[in-house]
Structure 1
Amino acid sequence: QHLRSLLMGESSLVRLGYVSIADDSPTHGNGVLNKALSIDRGLLDFLLGQADWDQQQQPAVAPSWEAVVLEKSFKAGLVSAIMRLDRDDFGRTDAIIQLVGEAGSGKKLIAGAICRQLQRTVMIVDAEALAAADTSPSDSVTPAFRKALLHNSVICLDNFHTLLQDEARNKALLAAVVMAINNRRDLTILTGEMMWRAEGHINDGVPMLTLSVQAPDYQQRRLLWESHLKGHRNSLTDDDIRVLSGRFRLRGGQIRKAVDTARNTSLFRQESDGAITLDDLSAASRLHSNQRLSALAQKIEPSYQLDDIVLPADHKAQLEEIRSYFANMSLVYGDWGFQSKTNLGKGLNALFVGASGTGKTMAADVIAGQLGLDLYKIDLSTIVSKYIGETEKNLDRIFREAHDSNAILFFDEADALFGKRSEVKDSHDRYANIETSYLLQKMEEYQGIVVLATNFRKNMDDAFVRRMHFVIEFPVPEELDRLQIWHRVFPQDAPCRESVDIGFMAKQFKLPGGNIKNVAVTSAFLAAQDGEAIDMRHLILATRREYQKMGKLLIESEFGPYFELVRPGPAEPPSSGQPPLYSQTQTGSREK
């Protein structure tokens, strides 16, 4: 009678597929004991001591709660809930715990700690691998649940959000998983980036706990850095840990990977004792930040230092203040507690104002280099769309990808969107103002640095300017500043003749730094074409080309004794329909 009950349809052996009864087998009677039976291969291997885990179904090392960094009240509530589950306060053995959060937020670590508290092992099954398997949904799902039961393991379905995507195979897999969960009648843990609404899928009355696993805050990041650096030789101070925790908003998994990468870097560095440095960890943190922003913006590799940029002393001091402000945000918002006093606006917003070529992009480059952060340049004029709602979609994509990029966002041509808000006269005016407000909202939500650049401050809305932490003017350089730029623009290895008169170039041509750089580079190519060292003839001809690009007149009083080099000859008339590039000089010379 007992053997017969073990082979009935509702028994675990039959319901879970460990034993199959062949209905068409030859029998000597109608009873179940007279039919042919087949045993699951996994069960047979287990009974023979040959059970093994396949690559997608590995038992995870279960950590203690002490190793899990979570907000204190959140952790206490979770531990209490698991205690009630362990005491069978719910009156049943089956339950579902759903952990929802971004990749690397510690969901699998929490699942392991839950199982350790219950004194059980955990078996991680990657739902993404199940979806990619070349087997039927049932054949993909059933073996994993059978193995978990044999080893009394809690099954944890990782990347569960994969099964929620609207594809035929995913729907079939989800149905197979739901059936397996309902048949197993045990604790199941789901981890993913999207919440699953299980109503109508799972058995009635099954307790289900859904928890949102948040990205770690500053204090939690400090604990994570300290925890993952234990056991690794390093030269970091408490201040270094503070800098890393504030500068890079990484999740636990990213911090662990950053430490591993930095360790490998330090071991292969020449003339090193193998100790991990702050520079190692900063570079590794950038590497393990979200890099998808590269598809939407131009990544600029920082190459300048503060001493490279020529600005009035007060303007340069403001750049240093931006660096200091961001570097100390973790101290002010974290250690000093100002984080509790504000919900938004914990990033840094700066407005750079100045004509083209005055150093706005270079200044953003300097700040990124000083802070060890990536820099992405976005041309706002390409983001703004004439179609209602498209601008917001474009901005949302950028800030969504920038969320965990730990990068400086540099928006050029900001007045394309942030011009003075008009009086609302029609729907287009109303939507233009909505677009402006939307970007301001996104800037306040972003916890990094956002720099906006514009050529004309007068075009900017006053209410918008008041929302900036810093507003820095980039003036066209005066003669002494231009002289500094000219002295710095030529590389040490560039061949220049003694006849090159830098003083003349700085005094005569009132060019911004960007245009001076263009002239220097063009002169170098002209000299290379002639097979000579750079001389004044090359510089003057390069200046002529730069003036043509800028649409400026070539005035004899500016070019002085070198004007004959640029005076148009009979074979070089001005283009038809174009304004003349040569005009009457102040000395009365006739020009064409």
Structure 2
Amino acid sequence: MNDLLRIRLSAKTDEEVKELPVFKIESDINSELSTFIVSNSLTNSESVVLLLALIPHISPEFFSNIIAEYLPNGGDFPEFGGVKGKNHRGIIPTGETVLYILAGHDIKERQEVAKLFDEEHLFAQKSVLYIEAVPAGEPKMSGRLIMDEEYVDLFTSGKISRPKLSSDFPAQRISTKLDWSDLVLKDKTLEEIKELETWLNFNDRLLDDWGMHDKIKPGFRVLFYGPSGTGKTMTTCLLGKYTGRDVYRVDLSMVISKYIGETEKNLSGLFNKAEHKNWILFFDEADSLFGKRTNVRDAHDKYANQEVSYLLQRIEAHRGLVILASNMKGNIDSAFTRRFNAFVEFEAPEIVERMKLWQVYMPESSKVHKDIRLDELAKNYELTGANIVNIIQYAGLLTIKIGNSILKKEALMAGIRKEYKKEGKILQQ
């Protein structure tokens, strides 16, 4: 890169630059950067652009030192481009920097180089790097050359850091230490879940090996619906765990905004970040965002409907798995339901399922009093899996608090009464 810059900077005319040096991969062939260049068959120009975007993150003084050799008395170098950052005191390359280094002043060659930033190019398709937007009226290529943070992490540390919940990324990674054996659902529901697992494991082969990219819509959209506490979130986490994908639960409180255009902006940032990632996006309590559109009575209704329309476009174009969770299937706008690939109903557990849930979550038998009959609990009390977990937790803490080492029925009944009261139910004695 040093030689490349010096050849361009020292040349007085483009004719003096007959051929730029070829970027070669040295002995660090096993680095993530080299692997990316080789596996994606990057050209010399593409490799140079990749390095230009990466250099400020590993050598802040690189550009400043070289330019200082050619401008010892200071001054500007408009052709080279480059800007100062708010905190970064070195030079950050711009699109103009790329054009100058790779094409000099040759108009036709500069037009070819500019195509490296088209939406169809690998850099955009994989969200590797881009030219930052500039104020209205300024040249597009004067924007900073920005590499995605995840690729910066990958090329500098060898691994990608997971994004954290923030205003720029309104989603949080969720996971579980439980296994499929801990999930208690009806057989019909489990069969439908296995279909989702099949899509996650084999869809890429269907698209690539069978050449179905142009015939099948990208991504998969599914609605989980049913009462709270029936396993919708846990199922999503298990799908991610057993297919090697991160699950991100979208924080709708950070997405939805009362200000016009802000909801779309938040959604755009979320989907852009998730593009080309093997993530599962999970919209819990999705009614607030995917709910039925209303008749337009005022400007508020008009913009609310526009938000739904925008979301409809983004969710349909997303290439990954998107799971919406709702207590009621009928609460979701029909425009979305028509585009779902699957509906999975999570019914409230009946006696057989409740018995399994008590067995799965109850402490080991040495901690449980012999008078506790799980079959009676399953038969007499209509509870969800979440209810049962809460009851056992409450009863266990109560037992420890009063100094006992054995979980007794009285403590469980206290927990059951608490759960019934919380949900406004009357417990028949």
**TM-score normalised to the size of structure 2?**
0.72
Q: Residues 244-285 of structure 1: CA distance to partner in whole angstroms, max 9, x if unpaired?
A: xxxxxxx99999999xx7xxxxxxxxxxxxxxxxxxxxxxxx
Alpha-carbon distance change, 254 to 125 in structure 1, aligned in 2, over 3 angstroms: closer
Q: In the alignment, is the contact (CA less than 8 A) between 2:151 and 2:160 conserved in 1?
A: no
Give the secondary structure class of the aligned counterpart of 1:298: strand
Percentage identity across paired residues of the two chains: 30
The within-5 A match list for 1:76-475 is: 99=46, 107-108=47-48, 126-128=55-57, 132-133=60-61, 139=65, 141-143=67-69, 163-164=82-83, 188-189=101-102, 203=105, 207-208=109-110, 209-210=112-113, 211-212=116-117, 213-214=121-122, 288-289=159-160, 291-295=162-166, 296-342=170-216, 345-475=217-347
Structure 1: 5+ residue runs without aligned partners? 1-11, 18-57, 83-96, 100-106, 112-122, 147-159, 183-187, 191-201, 219-250, 262-287, 557-592
Q: Residues 166-213 of structure 1: CA distance to partner in whole angstroms, max 9, x if unpaired?
A: 6598797769x97xx98xxxxx349xxxxxxxxxxx647583231245
Q: In the alignment, is the contact (CA less than 8 A) between 1:164 and 1:170 conserved in 2?
A: no
How large is the Cα RMSD of the aligned pairs?
A: 4.2
Q: In the alignment, is the contact (CA less than 8 A) between 1:141 and 1:173 conserved in 2?
A: no
Moved beyond 6 Å, runs of 4+: 168-175, 251-258
Hey, what does 2:419 align to over in structure 1? 546
Structure 2: 5+ residue runs without aligned partners? 1-5, 12-22, 73-79, 127-149
Q: Alpha-carbon deviation of 1:306?
A: 2.5
Q: Alpha-carbon deviation of 1:423?
A: 1.8
Q: Residues 70-129 of structure 1: CA distance to partner in whole angstroms, max 9, x if unpaired?
A: 47xxx7xx6xxx9xxxxxxxxxxxxxx5x4xxxxxxx35988xxxxxxxxxxx9992456
Which among 508, 512, 530 is matched to residue 380 of structure 2? 508
Distance 1:173 1:462 in 2: 48
The within-5 A match list for 1:528-547 is: 528-532=400-404, 533-547=406-420
Q: In the alignment, is the contact (CA less than 8 A) between 1:290 and 1:402 conserved in 2?
A: no
**TM-score normalised to the size of structure 1?**
0.53
Larger CA Rg, structure 1 vs 2: 1
Q: In the alignment, is the contact (CA less than 8 A) between 2:369 and 2:408 conserved in 1?
A: yes
Q: In the alignment, is the contact (CA less than 8 A) between 2:226 and 2:347 conserved in 1?
A: yes
Q: In the alignment, is the contact (CA less than 8 A) between 1:353 and 1:473 conserved in 2?
A: yes
Q: Alpha-carbon deviation of 1:311?
A: 1.4
Alpha-carbon distance change, 541 to 400 in structure 1, aligned in 2, over 3 angstroms: same
Alpha-carbon distance change, 379 to 166 in structure 1, aligned in 2, over 3 angstroms: closer
Distance 1:479 1:206 in 2: 74
Give the secondary structure class of the aligned counterpart of 1:441: helix
Alpha-carbon distance change, 124 to 445 in structure 1, aligned in 2, over 3 angstroms: closer
Matched to 2:242, the amino acid is: Q
Q: Alpha-carbon deviation of 1:406?
A: 2.3
Distance 2:340 2:283 in 1: 14
Distance 1:482 1:493 in 2: 18
Matched to 1:534, the amino acid is: L
Distance 1:527 1:463 in 2: 51
Q: In the alignment, is the contact (CA less than 8 A) between 2:247 and 2:281 conserved in 1?
A: yes
Q: In the alignment, is the contact (CA less than 8 A) between 2:222 and 2:343 conserved in 1?
A: yes
Alpha-carbon distance change, 59 to 475 in structure 1, aligned in 2, over 3 angstroms: closer
Give the secondary structure class of the aligned counterpart of 2:265: helix
Alpha-carbon distance change, 205 to 312 in structure 1, aligned in 2, over 3 angstroms: closer
Q: In the alignment, is the contact (CA less than 8 A) between 2:250 and 2:281 conserved in 1?
A: yes
Distance 1:473 1:308 in 2: 18
Distance 2:317 2:151 in 1: 22
Distance 2:322 2:313 in 1: 12
Alpha-carbon distance change, 443 to 311 in structure 1, aligned in 2, over 3 angstroms: same
Compare relative contact order (CA 8 Å, sep 6+) and give the higher one, 1 or 2: 2
Q: Residues 520-576 of structure 1: CA distance to partner in whole angstroms, max 9, x if unpaired?
A: 1111101111222101001001112222222323332xxxxxxxxxxxxxxxxxxxx
Q: In the alignment, is the contact (CA less than 8 A) between 1:60 and 1:124 conserved in 2?
A: no
Distance 2:153 2:389 in 1: 40
Distance 1:378 1:321 in 2: 23
Count of equivalent residues = 364
Q: Alpha-carbon deviation of 1:16?
A: 5.4
Q: In the alignment, is the contact (CA less than 8 A) between 1:348 and 1:447 conserved in 2?
A: yes
Alpha-carbon distance change, 385 to 16 in structure 1, aligned in 2, over 3 angstroms: closer
Q: In the alignment, is the contact (CA less than 8 A) between 1:375 and 1:407 conserved in 2?
A: yes
Distance 1:173 1:320 in 2: 49
Q: Alpha-carbon deviation of 1:340?
A: 2.8
Q: In the alignment, is the contact (CA less than 8 A) between 2:248 and 2:281 conserved in 1?
A: yes
Q: Residues 467-494 of structure 1: CA distance to partner in whole angstroms, max 9, x if unpaired?
A: 1111111111111111111111124377
